[in-house]
């Protein structure tokens, strides 16, 4: 009943910012995740100020259900203009999501927006709590495809690929990075260094062969890094295939 009253009140055009803030504060005492989400979502239908958006993001921490928290955060992220503080509160709320599936859903929505280097670094670092190689690689590939990565952001991403235990999923991320048309020589070397973490001769060779056309026209330092990574291959057949691709 309380949720119905609060939702109805939020639909009033007579509400000012102070009244809306009081309603959101009152909503935090609702025990049901479903009804709390309903009220907070209704608040997002109003002319959302930075302060209101921050309060909704902070209130999301009261929601125990991964499903309802994800619904609310993704709806909040559908607003085009969000403050830096709101982003930070959303990222904090993501840590409270236990399911990698739902966590990935919110992060993928986040990285579909234009983000600063600082925001990207924070998001990438918050992926450390994800245990699923599948969803973690999906998030990293989405970042690679959607973001204009600075040298710093790219290096943070490559450093965090060490959290992917599966050679298959790690190779998918590295191939996606190589596919970027605007990667620098420095970034290409970072990819090659990350490739050395792969244990499988098959997957390390797959990544190297993908990188080979760009390595062939790169500087000697990049070629040396390629050769150094290729030495991690134990199979003579795969090693020879990788080396012939640049020589």
DSSP, residue by residue, 39-70 = HHHHHTTS---HHHHHHHHHHGGG---HHHHH
- pLDDT value at residue 81: 81
Rounded Cα gap, residues 77 and 196, in angstroms? 37
- pLDDT value at residue 215: 96
Rounded Cα gap, residues 96 and 146, in angstroms? 25
- pLDDT value at residue 49: 80
- pLDDT value at residue 56: 86
From first to last of its 247 residues, the chain has per-residue pLDDT tens of 556 656 665 665 555 667 667 777 777 778 889 888 888 888 787 667 888 888 888 888 889 999 999 999 999 998 878 888 898 899 889 989 999 999 999 999 999 988 889 889 999 998 998 999 999 999 999 999 999 889 999 999 999 999 999 999 999 999 999 999 889 999 999 999 999 999 999 999 999 999 999 999 999 999 999 999 999 999 999 999 999 999 8
Alpha helices in the chain (DSSP H): 2-10, 17-27, 33-43, 50-59, 66-77, 84-94, 100-110, 117-125, 133-146, 151-160, 167-178, 185-195, 201-216, 220-230, 236-244
């Amino acid at each position: 009943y309380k949720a119905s009253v609060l939702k109805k009140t939020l639909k009033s055009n007579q509400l000012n910012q102070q009244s809306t803030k009081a309603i959101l504060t009152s909503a935090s005492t609702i025990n049901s995740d479903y009804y709390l989400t309903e009220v907070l979502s209704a608040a997002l239908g109003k002319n959302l100020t930075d302060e209101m958006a921050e309060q909704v993001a902070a209130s999301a921490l009261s929601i125990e259900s991964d499903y309802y928290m994800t619904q609310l955060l993704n709806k909040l992220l559908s607003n085009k203009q969000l403050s830096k503080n709101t982003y930070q509160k959303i990222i904090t709320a993501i840590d409270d999501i236990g399911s990698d599936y739902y966590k990935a859903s919110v992060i993928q929505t986040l990285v579909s927006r234009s983000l600063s280097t600082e925001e990207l670094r924070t998001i990438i670092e918050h992926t450390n709590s994800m245990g699923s190689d599948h969803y973690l690689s999906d998030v990293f590939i989405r970042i690679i495809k959607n973001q204009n990565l600075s040298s710093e952001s790219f290096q943070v991403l490559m450093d965090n690929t060490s959290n992917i235990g599966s050679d298959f999923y790690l190779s998918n991320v590295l191939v996606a990075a190589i596919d970027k048309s605007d990667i620098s020589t420095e970034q290409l070397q970072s990819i090659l260094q990350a490739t050395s973490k792969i244990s499988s001769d098959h997957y390390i060779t797959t990544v190297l062969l993908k990188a080979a056309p760009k390595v062939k026209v790169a500087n000697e330092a990049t070629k040396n890094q390629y050769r150094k990574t290729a030495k991690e291959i134990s199979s003579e057949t795969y090693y020879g295939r990788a080396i012939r691709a640049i020589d």
